[in-house]
Amino acid sequence: MTSASPARLEARLPADVYALLKRAAEIEGRTLSDFVVSAARDAASRTIAETEVLRLAVKDQRRFAEALLHPPAPNAALRRAARRRRQLFGA
C-alpha cells in the first residue's frame, strides 16, 4: 500500500536492537528504513490475518461443513427467541 505522502515514525531503540536491525538491513542490501518498514509491514499483515482468518483442523472443518449442510432442528430456546424477535420486530 503506497500513499501519496509518507508519514513519519520515530522510535527509540536500545543500541543492541539498532545494531541488529542495521546489520540485517546491510545483509539484505537495503537501507535501515526500508528494512524496518518492510519487517513492520509483514508483522502487521500477519497479525491482522491471524485475527481475521479462522483456521480449523481438518476434523473441525468437517464438523463445521456437516453442521452447515445438515443443521440440527431448532430447540425450544431457539424457537422462543425467534418468537420473541417476531414480537419485537415483526415478521
Q: What is the CA radius of gyration of the chain?
A: 25
Query: 34-78, pLDDT tens digit by residue?
Result: 999 999 999 999 999 999 988 899 999 999 999 999 999 999 999
Please state, for a pLDDT cut of 70, what percent of the chain lies above it: 97
Consecutive H or E run containing 52: helix 32-52
C-alpha cell at 1: 500500500
* C-alpha closest to that of 11 among 23, 21, 24, 1: 21
Q: Based on the structure, what is the number of domains in the chain?
A: 1
- Enter the pTM of the model: 0.58
Query: Is 25 part of any domain?
Result: yes
Query: Is 24 part of any domain?
Result: yes
What pLDDT, on the 0 to 100 scale, is given for residue 44? Answer: 97
Query: Is 29 part of any domain?
Result: yes
Query: Is 8 part of any domain?
Result: no
39-55 per-residue burial string, b: 16 or more CB within 10 A, e: under 16: eeeeeeeeeeeeeeeee
Query: Is 7 part of any domain?
Result: no
Where in the sequence is the domain holding 67, given as residue range(s)? 15-89
Q: What is the mean pLDDT of the chain?
A: 93
